[in-house]
Chains A and B, each alone.
Chain A
């Protein structure tokens, strides 16, 4: 075994979570899927956050946070998930627990809050999220929700998301458990009928799992399947409604995009209702093509496969000129990826390859062992792979790996900017679609704009410091010229002590200076 050399300066306990791909195909022993280290400043959030980001795009639901105000306040409209209709999900609801509720229990307040919100909003479903406090004081959410469900004859579903009970992944699971309760159970006959081959005269049905319609992504994806003659029942949870989710078990197939959050639900639907699933990604030319072709192959229909090929040919021809143009501009640049989930990280590797770029750092908040294995197969030797990174590690890695661009979320954005490195947001914050064919064009353009902006040139040019000027003078690089030529101000002249710079020497490239700081 090769001797492990420290990749970045970090805490001893963090070292197993950072590795470098050494040889092609080699399995990497990366530690992952653990709780974050105290004091390490993880970029992760909590269980509640995991549940919230998965469920929040359900557009007509009341998302009621049972806890103190903070939890609801910071996650208000957090996803940037677009809706084609009602937008109840963008309103923040909380029981705003106070000290007295913590002492005497919050069940009464919760059930009164539910009553009020039903009266005001008439929602088809209320998701009641539990927060840290609820887990500690032991409010019985299950029974409060059950009573409210019966009283109002709507779904009132507890989401078991106490912040401290695990990490973000456990929140995904809690969200899936809540979705499970919404999905209507089909009859035994219907379950038996599920099979891979659907006759040509029947329109097959699918669900998309793990697409959250950030910036309207789903709207660029759904039509592709519809053109193939497939009905998309629901996308979970982007632009979904309680009613559409309840019909999910009618599907013949589930396509899972965000594997981290939705594989659990897909597996459950397979065991319970006999609905198989395929992993898919709608980002990047290769992955979209795979998604369409594999779906067609699954249904075993020649006609559908032909349609898929026709769509792909037409779409790829349509966007290739623009992709090629960008590729010429950005090829050879080095990218760093730090994502919440591993599926997005994996598909981004291919996306960058299509733009002629190389990935030099790849990390996720919630990857599991098999995800990192998959990642290690997909990246080149020397690429740094990191789990649950923190700001100091990211900053040092960006410099050491000489990244030109980072793709991540808001907390990482300013780390990159402060280092003079381009950044592209692939999280809740973006306002343009990145999925589908036009989405990939958007992505390519944004990568180009991020890398090619002249600001990075300005950032790399430093004004010479006085001491640097002196040393340059000693080396004879800068001429000494009489003071009077430079400025008429006597005081200024005195300060400058005879140093005069040629205008072109006022700036120097000092990438080396940045590096030396690490």
Chain B
């Protein structure tokens, strides 16, 4: 392998504005506007439409050469005006692209100016809330774009004076804030768990309806669903915040703790047995109710399923790649199953990724010395695959080139998945999700190693030799 220092070959990561759209689209009645040139919104709409198979409307301030030279103020204002005019949203998330960042537009100031001109106040009840977030593509990745957008949303809706903060009306709710996007099915599953456990909760962002909308009689301009705005504003009154994800810093959870005194607990994304156990244990501690029988049974079924397939999976070498927290939880589950994740990689550069991965490997299978890659492209992953020789790849669709050229089966999880259907319904979360994931992985491995040959069917002579019509008739008598 020739070492590359300057060229990225087949990116394993998306850019910050993309992540912001994932977060904004999980909020009730929200539109997204990218401040930059037209292409950015089109590309990300295309990617999300491919992935979720839903129409995805993202506006753009459509900066042209004039805007790039003299500043994008007028375009941004016009964009906001037109979005309000046509979509009538309650919230507009304004994410900057690298163009707007580089020409140095002061987006918060432009928005303030716009609101004054249009006489838009700051009352979430009756005014349009405009939330800027700085997300240049050359910054970090879609993972940070997502986290930053959520943080900005929570800050915007919970802005309070010191006086207001002192009068807290506890709502007894639990804030649930995942990092990195889950599938709509994952969100539905989590919400069901909270419903069953009788815990009142606020789930942010809620993409279960907005990215998996039922076919209806009409086509609403903005997909219904998403976290209600009143609930976001109520988050400081909650009893605790549960962050899902421990590798990337969950800024919203941290902010609620530091500024509003809502204690924050971070658990890994509940993929696999121990991560789901951790999730439930934390819930029991916070909510105080025992784990319902339904989930105890599900846990038992998962164990049963794990026992059923342990021989197929033991020692199977896997390569896991994707977003940092998602990969961390997947790796944990693989280790629990006896699979050897020999190659663990993330495209989003993440400070704590390697240490966290090493920790969990040390805990479950200290003999294993996996290759851990942080902030890589697919070309680097490909080289590592050739070194590690995994028997299965677990990650998003863009790994299909490696899978195909090396004839290694690929279990598709994560984002983007544009060459298979059902992304909205892929469930990885909780005991039930673990079972589904376990089945997908096992069946993929079985399919690839299938040595079953059908026994040769020898037909009895009586069937092969054609009886004459006469014989048949006689036989019937």
Contact = CB atoms under 8 A, between A and B. Distances in A.
Contact count band on B: 35 or more
Interface string A406-437: 00001101110111100000000000000000
Interface stretch (B71-79, B175-183, B435-443, B447-455): B71-79
Nearest to A415: B55
A410 B37 contact: no
B28 interface: no
B284 interface: no
Interface stretch (A15-23, A71-79, A241-249, A438-446): A71-79
Interface stretch (A96-104, A202-210, A228-236, A356-364): A96-104
Contacts of B13: 69, 73
Contacts of B75: 38
B8 A112 contact: no
19 contacts: A37-B78, A38-B62, A41-B60, A44-B38, A45-B38, A45-B42, A67-B137, A69-B13, A76-B10, A93-B7, A95-B6, A99-B138, A99-B139, A115-B6, A132-B37, A164-B68, A166-B65, A411-B42, A414-B55
A164 B6 contact: no
A389 B431 CA distance: 46
Interface of B: 2, 4-11, 13-15, 17-18, 33, 36-47, 49-50, 53-65, 67-68, 75-76, 78-83, 85-87, 97-99, 102-103, 136-139, 141, 213, 215-219, 221, 377, 379, 398, 401
Contact of B98 (A68, A116, A391): A68
Contacts of A46: 37-40, 42
A39 B78 contact: yes
A428 to B, nearest CB: 10
A517 B6 contact: no
Contacts of B39: 45-49, 71, 163
B79 A137 contact: no
Contacts of B219: 395, 415, 418-419, 517
A108 to B, nearest CB: 9
A102 B43 contact: no
A411 B49 contact: yes
Contact of B217 (A91, A166, A411, A510): A510
A410 B63 CA distance: 24
A43 interface: yes
Given A45-B38, A76-B398, A102-B102, A410 B50 contact: yes
A481 interface: no
A164 B55 contact: no
Given A135-B68, A413-B49, A414-B54, A64 B136 contact: no
Contacts of B4: 116, 120
Contacts of B5: 112, 116
A459 B216 CA distance: 9
Contact of B68 (A42, A102, A136, A391): A136
Given A46-B37, A70-B137, A164-B64, A418 B99 contact: no
Interface string A120-147: 1000000000001101110000000000
Contacts of A74: 14, 43-44, 46-47
Contacts of B18: 70
B78 to A, nearest CB: 4
A44 B64 CA distance: 13
B221 A392 contact: yes
Contacts of B85: 11
A99 B15 CA distance: 13
A70 B8 contact: no
B49 A414 contact: yes
Contact of A164 (B45, B58, B67, B221): B67
Nearest to A163: B37
A52 to B, nearest CB: 10
Contacts of B9: 91-93
Given A72-B11, A76-B11, A510-B217, A39 B43 contact: no
Contacts of A96: 7-8, 11, 377
Contact of A41 (B6, B37, B59): B59
Nearest to A115: B6
A119 interface: yes
B61 A133 contact: no
Contact of A101 (B41, B42, B138, B216): B138
Contact of A459 (B41, B68, B83, B215): B215
A469 interface: no
